Structure 1
Amino acid sequence: MEPELRQMRYFVAVAERRSFTRAAEDVYVAQQALSQQIKALEDTLGVRLLDRTSRRVDLTPAGAAYLADCKRVLSAAGRAARHARAVAAGEVGKVRIAYTVTAAYETLPALTAHLAERAPRLKVETREIFAADVCRMLRDERCDLALAPGTGYPDGIARQTVRREELRVAVGDRHPYAGAPAVELAGLRGETFQLWPREMAPGYYDAVAGACRAAGFEPVLDETASGSNAWAGIAAGRGVNLVVASLARQLPRGITLVPLAKPVPVLRVDAVWRAEHPHPAVPRVLAGCAELWPGETSGGAVSAPPG
């Protein structure tokens, strides 16, 4: 039978106070109960730790050695408890955040910098993915949370809107709208949109197509548009697209972003995670988003597609 941490705490209290009466007050137990626990500890160890007289309590040589060890054990136990609580609270450990290109230039950098300040012992690993891969990455446990354009998700996948980012019109430098102070979205009727296929980026596709429909027209799509090919088409004057405003920081050569006239359409950015057994840091990440973009977080933890 090994000594209990409680008995070690009692022993340290008696050894430091050199008094059962004062030690009992410190640890909030009756003096008789404290004396019984110290006696039980000595019986367990098979050594006498204290020399007791009517006037004082002294440490034996074994007691002095045991006192130093008890302090180390209790300190380690305290650290272990604090570490376990910190991990459970998402303040310590590692969280893997996947993200799509729409979150790459503003949302993700702002969030990781904020977490580094608010939870410095939480290591954040990031990787860029296609929006179509979000569910698979989460289910395969290859990431703990993803930042992606808002869309519906199947059962077992939870999501929460964390921010909304304004859309801009991406045009070639020689396009008639290049350099305009603002463009009416309805003015893009008849333009060819260099929009990725919906299966690659459903949330982004729906945001762009939905904005066009709200402006009164169905977008004409270049079915071959994909990745760098879409940017090349815009730069060459073969079409336009709606992109998040933060992409202005990393635009390919030959492309300009033009603001849209009010009401400006937005892209909803969602945090997405496994509904069952979520990573302990998910609440910490969501809290960070709420601190960065107050008033934009909405939707709660939804685990099924809307409508």
Structure 2
Amino acid sequence: MDLHQLRHFVALAEHGNFTRAAEATFITQSAFSRSIQALEQNLGCLLVERSTGGRGFTLTAQGRELHRRARDIIVGVSNLRADLLGQAQANTPTLALGCGPLPAARLIPAALATFLDQHPDTRIDLRVETPDTLKEYLDSGEIELLIADLRHIETSKGYVTQALRPRRFQLFCRLRHPLLSSGATSFRALADYPMACSSLPAELRVLLTEQAGRATLPINLECKHTDMLVQMAVGSNLVGIAGEDVVAYLVAKGEVERLNFIDAPQGLLQGGTCFGVVYRADRALSSLARAMAMAIGEADELYVAAGDNAVRRFDLAV
């Protein structure tokens, strides 16, 4: 007896019609009829009595009994599958961590790639949220560690922090953007184009508003996913704002161009974000969490800032 045949029979009994039952189980009517006949042969009894002309049917006594018990069998098999899958997942090592939108763009994918090469059987529970939300997850025990800007995390002696390298912001645009045509771009020219970012500090928002000559907030869209930001920039005149390492990667791939300004404000040249790993001091990290923290540190070591100022000084937070 085949489980598919049982499902077909239950559909027939509940729809009361071969055509509708075949449609409900997504097979042809001829294949459906053969399935019911095969089930009758396997059980050695008639399950349905077809009326004259083949337009209708009634369930036999054996058919009624099978209908009563078949649904319990199908539900039981489904529950068994779910239980076994849940047991398998329960036995799978899991690492729960969180990060902000900016580290999610380059740093964390690189670190996770290294980590999973070394721990291929580990399931990753990664949450990309704002620093405040991540701290709530950390305090409640839903994640073991988080990676975000340290200046946006209100910590006390109850937390351990591991500072990473500071990163500044850069503006980028599509190839052959109008802003690239003159060669010497004025920062105020940004006022003529839409702008988008994955995450920005309040200080940089004020700076952009003042320097770009706009009376209102110059950011048209803020999203968590850098790939969405890049797709919009590549397909339009939108100017994107992202971390220096993200822009360097996209430039190297030939997808975008950096925007350099003849009158760029010092706050943009020197301001940036300082990522850090944070975890609770009163909870010992698991071996997987320690390995992930090490992988993050190794990935961070590969980051090279574009200039000395970006390494020595950062005034803006994300």
| TM norm structure 1 | 0.45
**Structure that is richer in helix per residue:** 2
| TM norm structure 2 | 0.44
